Amino acid sequence: MKRRQATRLLAGLPWLAALPLPAAASPTPWPVVHRNPDGSQVSIPAQPRRILSTSVTLTGSLLAIDAPVVASSTNGNRRFFDQWASVAESRKLQRLWALNAVDLEAVYLARPDLIVVSNSGADSALEAVRELSQIAPTIVIDYAVNSWQDVTRQLGRATGRSDRAESRIAEFAEKTRQVAQVIRVPDGLTAIVTYNGPGMINPVAMPRGSHGLLLAALGFRLEEPDPRWHSGLDTPDDFVKAQYEHLSTLKARTVFLLRQDENDVDGLLRDRVLARMPAVQARQVYGLGKNSFRIDYYSANEIVDAIRRRFTRDPAAK
């Protein structure tokens, strides 16, 4: 972080108090108090008008509720996530640093009145919260243990966009319900795998994780991987970080591959070591989508649309 330049710039903070209130009245009573994952509380004095997201993952949820996000970090390639990149471009969202290479000078120059930080992940700026809090109220959101709906609700409350958040969630729930009625779910269990091949960690989704819950809402029965396969130090709430050899013991007759589309499944289908997997023998291996690694409003819709196209009972409904 550019701490030396930021130290000089922090002296100009009085401009924050002069930020105007939103032009439109909000039903949210201000100030709003946000509780961070560590139990600390942050008071947001008025509805934000210039939000800076240090987490590219959380930026999608802010865009989905039409929050006034003006700047965001990017992924490792200095790009936004594909599922909402066009929305970001149309709103002229400023690109900041890649992942968690926090630049306090860039934060100051963006003139935010609210800063959003992820509690974990490669895009977390948690170690900079103290410095960021000197620039603007800084809230921390944990997307690792919360569904995208819960994350959206938290951001909706913090930004005075709760109505929009609930509207997006209800819209998606209705879409999911309708798709569940028109698809034919394959018999047997289903697994969601990040297939990386031998010598690598190959995460397998847990039924209670965000990916598992999404497929369950569509009628799929998720296989629960053995928690003892987990090679990480954390608790496997979302994914079990399984070694490659554990994949051969999965019983699922259907497997979805994260980060892959329909044209990227041959690697698993041709893997001779895993040839006896029921899903491989049944040729029921499908890509869950290029953007399926992280679920937000946009990628969740992409996943549901892809499943509708693949499994719809009536071709005319595609």
In the chain, the number of structural domains is 2
Same domain, 15 and 114: yes
At 238 the pLDDT is 83
Q: Is residue 276 part of a domain?
A: yes
At 260 the pLDDT is 93
Same domain, 238 and 96: no
Q: What is the pLDDT of residues 8-64, one digit of tens each?
A: 444 444 334 334 344 444 456 899 999 999 999 999 999 999 999 999 999 999 999
Measured CA to CA, the distance from residue 278 to residue 81 in angstroms comes to 33
Q: What is the pLDDT of residues 285-313, one digit of tens each?
A: 999 999 998 899 999 999 999 999 999 98
Q: Is residue 261 part of a domain?
A: yes
Q: What is the pLDDT of residues 169-226, one digit of tens each?
A: 999 999 999 999 999 999 999 999 999 999 999 999 999 888 999 999 999 999 999 9
Same domain, 230 and 89: no
| Confidence label for 317 from pLDDT (cuts 50, 70 and 90) | low
- The winner for highest mean pLDDT among 139-148, 224-233, 295-304 is 295-304
Q: Is residue 179 part of a domain?
A: no
**Residue 286 belongs to domain spanning:** 184-313
Decide if pLDDT at 239 tops 50.
yes
Q: Is residue 318 part of a domain?
A: no
Q: What is the pLDDT of residues 259-292, one digit of tens each?
A: 998 889 999 999 999 999 999 999 999 999 999 9
Residue 229: both structure tokens together: 């396969």
Q: Is residue 130 part of a domain?
A: yes
pTM of the model: 0.85
Q: b/e for 47-64, b at 16 or more Cβ within 10 A?
A: bbbbbbbbbbbbbbbbbb
Same domain, 110 and 240: no
Same domain, 125 and 258: no
Q: Is residue 124 part of a domain?
A: yes
Residue 202: both structure tokens together: 């190959």
